[in-house]
Amino acid sequence: MRPLLYGHRGSRGLSPENTIPSFRLGVNYGVDGIELDVHLSKDKKLIVMHDETVDRTTDGHGKIRDMTYEQIKALDAGVKFGPQWRGTKVPLLGEVFDEFGSSILYKVEVKHSSKVYPDIERILLDEIEKHSLKNRVQIISFDFDSLKNVRELDRGIEMGIIIEGRPGWFTEIAKNLNARWIHAFYGLVYPEDIDIVHKNGLKIGVWTLNGEEDIKQYCSMGVDDITSDLPNLLVKLCKNN
């Protein structure tokens, strides 16, 4: 069985990351799902963006936590990628859910726990429930405190830990959090790591594969999902062959 295929921040290598057009492009290429990141605005809205600030990907400046959604919505999230993307907006998570519904899978990365964004886990779970997408969403994070908070609020939703290191070192942490997935940087994932993860009753995903040979290798190695900035290449090499 082939791995699940995810577009990283939509189609990060082809379009302005973490925007509706970028997600749409990945979906149109045929990925199973999209990976995206969430922060919390000053007025408690789930903002889809990778960085803590708006500086890198928009024409604005400032920390998301210090800005309202209305301020963030006024920014251009496309022009830095290319003039043809001018006018692209920063989406709310709910807007992404509204756009694609249950037609795809979602990996939602929480960038910081409630220590930085008070109540973000509850707000996220409420948004997922509002859109009836609990069986389509996996909550993932480098911040294990956030995953612990999620699990205390919801015993059933699928979760994954994101790591930088050998996956076999993290199986007990994943199991203690009742997280089903370990998501690891592909360069540190070897066949023996995949075996260890599977023997512990867990699943393993790898990020971020953009090279043709890497994609071919990991498609046949036995991992359970692959995330790429280039969903066109990922689907071509891993789904259609």
Tokens of 119: 């109540």
Active-site entry in 39, 50, 61, 131? 50
- 112 in active site: no
Contact 26, 10 (CB under 8 A): yes
- 39 in active site: no
DSSP string of 13-34? TTS-TTSHHHHHHHHHHT-SEE
Q: Cα–Cα distance between 92 and 89 in angstroms, integer?
A: 10
In the Cβ-directed half-sphere of 224, how many Cα atoms lie within 13 Å? Answer: 16
**Strand, coil or helix: what is 68?**
coil
Cβ-based neighbour number of residue 83 at 10 Å: 8
Tokens of 157: 């939703």
Q: Cα–Cα distance between 26 and 33 in angstroms, integer?
A: 8
Which phi-psi region, left, alpha or beta, contains residue 200 (left: φ > 0; alpha: ψ -120 to 50)? alpha
Q: Cα–Cα distance between 220 and 94 in angstroms, integer?
A: 35
Cα-to-chain-centroid distance, residue 70: 24
Point out which residues pair with 5 in neighbouring strands. Answer: 226
Active-site entry in 8, 39, 112, 131? 8
The set of catalytic residues is 8, 50
